[in-house]
Amino acid sequence: MQEQSPFKGISGWRRIVNALGYSISGLAAAYRHESAFRQEVWLALCLLITALLLPVGVLERCLMIASVLLVLIVELLNSAVEAVVDRVSFERHELAKRAKDMGSSSVLISLLLCLWVWALILLHRFAEPAWN
């Protein structure tokens, strides 16, 4: 039995090129096979354009963009967990359910964080006089 991947010995520019290719393949696979990721990509595109157009400060814009990208990152990790669980077995098992539920919960938390960041920034920027 092989203990280490044969690809671990690759270094330098070749490793970087390979890693970039794997990353692009992963994004394409997620978009092709995961409807939640597709929906979040389109939502992210709308929100990123909005963040770039809104009259907010640099730090606020960075927080808005980071919170949107965090949702995509967490969704990718959740999809990876689900793929591994499904690869192991489609049989119902408490640990498989727990892993999938935890992944789903992480996506929910990232979405709520994104909503919170956007709401605070928009309320502070556009409804500030009402808070005084």
pLDDT tens, position by position, 99-129: 999 999 999 999 999 999 999 999 999 886 6
Which residue from 36, 15, 19 is spatially nearest to 83, judged by alpha carbons? 36
Specify the CATH architecture of the domain 35-131: Orthogonal Bundle (1.10)
Q: How many CB atoms lie within 10 A of CB 64?
A: 22
Q: Is 75 a catalytic residue?
A: yes
Residue 121 dihedral angles phi and psi, to the nearest 5°: -65, -45
Which of 34, 40, 60, 75 is labelled catalytic? 75
Confidence of residue 12 (pLDDT cuts 50, 70, 90): confident
- In order of 11, 70, 71, 75, the CA distances from 113 in angstroms are 37, 9, 9, 14
Q: Where are the domains of the chain?
A: 1-33, 35-131
Q: What is the pLDDT of residues 65-91, one digit of tens each?
A: 999 999 999 999 999 999 999 999 888
